[in-house]
Amino acid sequence: MTLKSLQQKDRDHHLHPFTDHLQLSEKGTRVITKGKGVYVWDAEGHQILDAMSGLWCVNLGYGREELTQAAYKQMQELPYYNNFFQCTHPPAIELSSKLGTISPADLNHVFFTGSGSEANDTVVRMVRRYWQLLGQPEKQIILSRKNAYHGSTIAAASLGGMSGMHEGGLPIPNIHHIAQPYWFEEGGDKDPDTFGLEVAQELEHAIHHYGVENIAGFIAEPIQGAGGVIIPPESYWPAIQNIIDEHKILLIVDEVITGFGRLGQWFATDVYQIKPDLIPFAKGVTSGYLPLGGVLVNDKVTDVISKGGEFTHGFTYSGHPAACAVALENLEIIERENILEQVKNKTAPYLEKHWKRLADHPLIGEARIKGLVAAIEISNNKETRGRFSSDISAGSICRDIAISNGLVMRAVGDTMIIAPPLIISESEIDELIEKTTTTLDETNRHISSL
């Protein structure tokens, strides 16, 4: 099949997620046909360095034979069975036990789902049920943050704080959003730590405003991903944890992106030393080879939920055997190959050294990074952290030039973001930096010529 006929069929029959179809129709879809390591190839044979790991998930890179074999073997043995009605199967047992071992100390149970969105829908039902079983059914409100991303189902999109996703009656009742710790955009002339503390105080204010007797919990990504890789100031998380402890509401830390090694430890909660009650996860748990998500639950919440009769919630594919087998192998490879240590002590510091220098580029107002997730801010004035007019679409220009240079970066407005596979080598990081620099030079020339 030729590229043209593939694109035509796609146009005729395929509705894409998060896509403007008129724009897509003009440009034609990019058809990706294979992957190996940190690279993907399109239908015309172009080799592209995938600095986004697909959608933040292909952490072990493409073409890992062991992951394919794990799925194949499990599908031959038992392709499907459910975990409803007092049944289970070895892959779900082994994976839940493994997750209990690597997760923070008191999170020892897992509820499986098929995705991150389903994990967050599960969170909403589980925390409300928790308070109901404790005799405090009025504790319904879940606080979240503006510009958060927690998925696309009705409840997950409600938890999310992207106004564009709230058309058609969202958020559902009893979900409210407070400010985000986005210093570059909203910090004004405060220093980052002062700003971080102020934004954390918004949680305290919201608890008083709605009444602690009505609040079930607070949900947040340790680092906002889809919102633009927003790394909070160091002062932020300790202040949030204090407020959580003081008011004894549940803390839900959405580790769908940060879980399984992105920051050089199993979980970002280990890195930030926060104490979540629940951790929704997905993406990197299987390196994206098969869909799987879930919620890690601490002993306190598990005790209440598991003694409270039937929790009438679950998905046909909760703990799908093939997905669990792939996840188990994925986690074992991370251990066998010391990937966490490699990220923490080698590749993340190496990338950081080079990435931070991008802030010297005339087009860049800030370069920030934590582990293997990073952002650069395109700015027309470094001093004032100014932005180009939105009809220039500097971010989209930069993204398109990156692609033509063989590099996948994502644009969130004028913020360029990356989250490369955890197996990226130092020489591949050199290539990533070189391609980014060329892309910024070309973007700068392009914008100047407008």
Binding positions for ligand PLP, rule: CB under 6 A: 56, 115-117, 120, 149-151, 221, 225-226, 254, 256-257, 282, 293
SS3 415: strand
Nearest distance in Å: CB 150, ligand PLP: 5
**How far is 140 from 9, CA to CA, in rounded Å?**
46
Q: Cβ of residue 9: shortest distance to ligand PLP, in angstroms? A: 25
Distances in whole angstroms, Cα of residue 349 to Cα of each of 267, 301, 304, 370: 18, 37, 42, 9
Q: How near is the Cβ of 190 to ligand PLP at its closest, in Å?
A: 26
Report the distance separating Cα 73 and Cα 76, nearest Å. 5
CB of 125 to ligand PLP, least distance (A): 16
Give min distance, CB of 393 to ligand PLP, in A.
Answer: 23
Whether 359 contacts 367, CB under 8 Å: yes
How far apart are alpha carbons 111 and 292 in whole angstroms? 11
345, 383 Cβ separation under 8 angstroms: no
* Residue 221 or 431 with smaller CB distance to ligand PLP: 221
Nearer residue to ligand PLP within complex by CB, 53 or 235: 53
**Cβ nearer to ligand PLP, comparing 282 with 407:** 282
- Which CB sits closer to ligand PLP, 369 or 401? 369
Q: Which is nearer to ligand PLP, 17 or 45 (CB)?
A: 17
Inter-CA distances, 218 with 143, 196, 204, 244, 401, Å: 5, 17, 11, 8, 39
Q: Which residue has its beta carbon closest to ligand PLP?
A: 116
Which C-beta is closer to ligand PLP: that of 37 or that of 225? 225
Min. distance of Cβ 346 from ligand PLP in angstroms?
Answer: 25
In the complex, the smallest distance separating the C-beta of residue 286 from ligand PLP, rounded to whole angstroms, is 11
Amino acid at 363: L
Residue type, 188: G
- Describe the crossing of helices 394-404 and 426-448 by its angle, rounded to 10 degrees: 130
Please report how many Cα atoms fall inside a 13 Å half-sphere around the Cα of residue 195, on the Cβ side: 17
The 8-class DSSP code of residue 413 comes to: T
Q: Smaller CB distance to ligand PLP: residue 104 or 116?
A: 116
Q: How does DSSP assign 68-134, residue by residue?
A: HHHHHHHHHH-S-----TT---HHHHHHHHHHHHHS-TTEEEEEEESSHHHHHHHHHHHHHHHHHHT
CA distances from 70 to 44, 61, 156 (A): 31, 16, 30
The nearer residue to ligand PLP, 115 or 235, going by C-beta atoms, is 115
Least distance CB 250 / ligand PLP (angstroms): 17
